[in-house]
Amino acid sequence: MARKKKIKMEIINYNAAGIDVGSKSHFVAVGQSLEDVKEFGVYAEDLVKLCEWLLSYGITSVAMESTGDYWQNLYVELQKHGIEVVLCNGKFTKNAKGKKTDVKDSRWIQKLHSLGLLTSSFLPDENTEILRTYCRQRTNWLELAASASRKMQKYLKFLNFRLDVVVNDVCGLTGLKIIEDICNGNLDPYSLAEHRHYNCRKPKEEIAKALHGNNRVDYLFGLKQEYDSYKFFQRKIKECDKEIEKLIKNEIQKHPVKQKLKTTAKPHKRINKNAIDIKNFNQIAYQYFGGVDLMAIEGVSHATVMSIMSEIGIDGFKKFKTAKEFCSWLRLAPNNKISGGKILSNKIPKGSNRLKIALRHSANAIGNLKDTHMSDFFKRIAYRKGRQAAVSATARKLATVIWTMVVKQVPYDPPTAYLFLDQKRKLGLVKRIKKQMAKFDIKTEDINLGNSLSPNYNF
């Protein structure tokens, strides 16, 4: 009779626990028996008791799912008590058999963590997390301001004030002054047309012609309400800008070396009206990254740099060993699925974080540029696979360049000319030869090659 073989897996984390995070209670497992599972509440004193209970069992490492926002307070409390926390994605812990219960989930997480089968999600440092909070709150106010702007345009159309026809931006200098005067009770079209800014393309006569309305009281009331809301949101955005500027400058002041750094002005970089209001942001960003000029990359705007600063930070780049890992985390690299030596699928995984979206916006802007290294790359991809694929490929290239600049502290130095495939192979061969020569301490004078091995391409 054949004996049944059992495969035992080696335990990696001996003092490990698993927590099933919930909105009203947390289930904690320190072992695989029912007696090793205990339920705790979500109040502050309950979280303290949870940590003390874990320490009484000698637990040094805990794994839990990043479920909504319920994990954050528990994460902070565990960190305070000196317990290592592995915050994992919920999709890696959903293979337990049988009925799903909170007790089974906590035991399953504890088992996976003990065997070392769970990896932690990316979490930024404290300063970056604070900056992220300010920036995301600012984004919320921007979205509300945009909503108020659209509603103002709706009421203007109902009033037959076709301001959207004669000005490019209803919330620009000319548009806001006219709307404010309308809300104050001035309905004379010729008087309203006097608010025309000198940069406005349409003459005063045409603006006055567009401002003959029906003057309905209910629409005027709705317009005034939305205008007041828009002004309120703009005040909140400015408050966020002040807090962001204060935090960034305080971080720079901690390093006297950074304060002495100077970069070149970039007047060609257009500043959007929704961009963060920080004076000389180009210089501040250069100092913040310790002498790395991310604004030198074509297509990278103030909003892109602000997203990099708030979503990952300087120390966050160092958590990724290679640029490929960074691109994979951003979900800009294809997820190859191979079976039988054939590639079944190589699609880019679904999902977007704010940094990926910012890089894709920059890549799309690069597609509209001319005669630059990045725009040439974009157009080659777009010619073969379409614009959408070109945006993804250029965003991935941007991520690789940014990671290289920040981690290796090198300037942006793109090649001036396009390299064909045979030229790239020759360049790779030259680099390998130079590496072998350095390994065996062979100089170019010894083999009479002169300076033929000197081409330098950083990207």
Q: For 174-200, how does the pLDDT look when each residue is reduced to its tens digit (9 = 90+)?
A: 999 999 999 999 999 999 999 998 888
Share of the chain above pLDDT 70, in %: 94
pTM: 0.82
- What's the confidence (pLDDT) of residue 159? 92
- What's the confidence (pLDDT) of residue 66? 83
Does 302 lie in the same domain as 211?
Answer: no
Average pLDDT over residues 233-253: 94
Does 206 lie in the same domain as 71?
Answer: no
Does 368 lie in the same domain as 284?
Answer: yes
Does 272 lie in the same domain as 147?
Answer: no
Does 445 lie in the same domain as 356?
Answer: no
For 260-297, letters b (16+ CB in 10 Å) and e give ebebeeeeeeeeeeeebebeebbbbbbbbbeebbbbbb
Q: Among 242, 267, 297, where does a domain finish?
A: 242
Listed range (232-241, 339-348, 391-400) with the worst mean pLDDT? 339-348
Does 399 lie in the same domain as 291?
Answer: yes
Residue 414 lies in a domain: no
Confidence of residue 30 (pLDDT cuts 50, 70, 90): very high
Residue 2 lies in a domain: no
Q: Is the pLDDT of residue 449 over 70?
A: no
Does 399 lie in the same domain as 266?
Answer: yes
* SS3 assignment for 331-377: CCCCCCEEECCEEEECCCCCCCCHHHHHHHHHHHHHCCCCCCHHHHH
- What's the confidence (pLDDT) of residue 420? 65
Average pLDDT over residues 211-232: 94
Does 391 lie in the same domain as 323?
Answer: yes
- What's the confidence (pLDDT) of residue 119? 85
Q: Among 86, 114, 142, where does a domain finish?
A: 114
Confidence of residue 356 (pLDDT cuts 50, 70, 90): very high
Residue 1 lies in a domain: no
Does 404 lie in the same domain as 274?
Answer: yes
The more confidently predicted of residues 406 and 351 is 406
Q: Is the pLDDT of residue 227 over 90?
A: yes
| CB 81 within 8 Å of CB 51 | yes
The more confidently predicted of residues 254 and 456 is 254
Confidence of residue 5 (pLDDT cuts 50, 70, 90): low
Residue 178 lies in a domain: yes
Helices 302-311 & 354-366 angle (0-180, nearest 10): 160
pLDDT tens digits along 303-350: 999 999 999 988 899 899 999 999 999 999 888 888 877 877 778 877
Does 229 lie in the same domain as 141?
Answer: yes
Residue 293 lies in a domain: yes
Number of domains composing the chain: 4
pLDDT tens digits along 254-293: 888 888 888 888 888 888 888 888 888 999 999 999 889 9
Confidence of residue 408 (pLDDT cuts 50, 70, 90): very high
The more confidently predicted of residues 128 and 91 is 128
Residue 247 lies in a domain: no
Confidence of residue 155 (pLDDT cuts 50, 70, 90): very high
- What's the confidence (pLDDT) of residue 459? 47
Q: Is the pLDDT of residue 222 over 80?
A: yes
CATH code of the domain in which 102 resides = 3.30.420.10
Structural domain range at position 434: 421-459
Confidence of residue 52 (pLDDT cuts 50, 70, 90): very high
- What's the confidence (pLDDT) of residue 116? 87
Confidence of residue 131 (pLDDT cuts 50, 70, 90): very high
- What's the confidence (pLDDT) of residue 453? 47
Average pLDDT over residues 407-429: 79
Does 302 lie in the same domain as 222?
Answer: no
Does 367 lie in the same domain as 315?
Answer: yes
Residue 428 lies in a domain: yes
For all residues of the chain together, what is the average pLDDT? 88
Query: Torsion-angle region of residue 371: left (phi > 0), alpha (psi -120 to 50) or beta?
Result: left
Bridge pairing between strands 337-339 and 37-40: unpaired
- What's the confidence (pLDDT) of residue 416? 67
Residue 122 lies in a domain: no
* SS3 assignment for the chain: CCCCCCCCCCCCCCCEEEEECCCCCEEEECCCCHHHEEEECCCHHHHHHHHHHHHHCCCCEEEEECCCCCHHHHHHHHHHCCCEEEEECHHHHCCCCCCCCHHHHHHHHHHHHHCCCCCCCCCCCHHHHHHHHHHHHHHHHHHHHHHHHHHHHHHHHHCCCCHHHHCCCCCCHHHHHHHHHHHCCCCCHHHHHHHCCCCCCCCHHHHHHCCCCCCCHHHHHHHHHHHHHHHHHHHHHHHHHHHHHHHHHHHHHCCHHHHCCCCCCCCCCCCCCCCCCCCCHHHHHHHHCCCCCHHHCCCCCHHHHHHHHHHCHHHHHCCCCCHHHHHHHCCCCCCCEEECCEEEECCCCCCCCHHHHHHHHHHHHHCCCCCCHHHHHHHHHHHHHCHHHHHHHHHHHHHHHHHHHHHHCCCCCCCCCCCCHHHHHHHHHHHHHHHHHHHCCCCHHHHCCCCCCCCCCCC
Q: Is the pLDDT of residue 452 over 70?
A: no
Q: Is the pLDDT of residue 11 over 50?
A: yes
Q: Among 114, 141, 167, where does a domain finish?
A: 114
- What's the confidence (pLDDT) of residue 161? 92
Q: Is the pLDDT of residue 445 over 80?
A: no
Q: Is the pLDDT of residue 2 over 70?
A: no
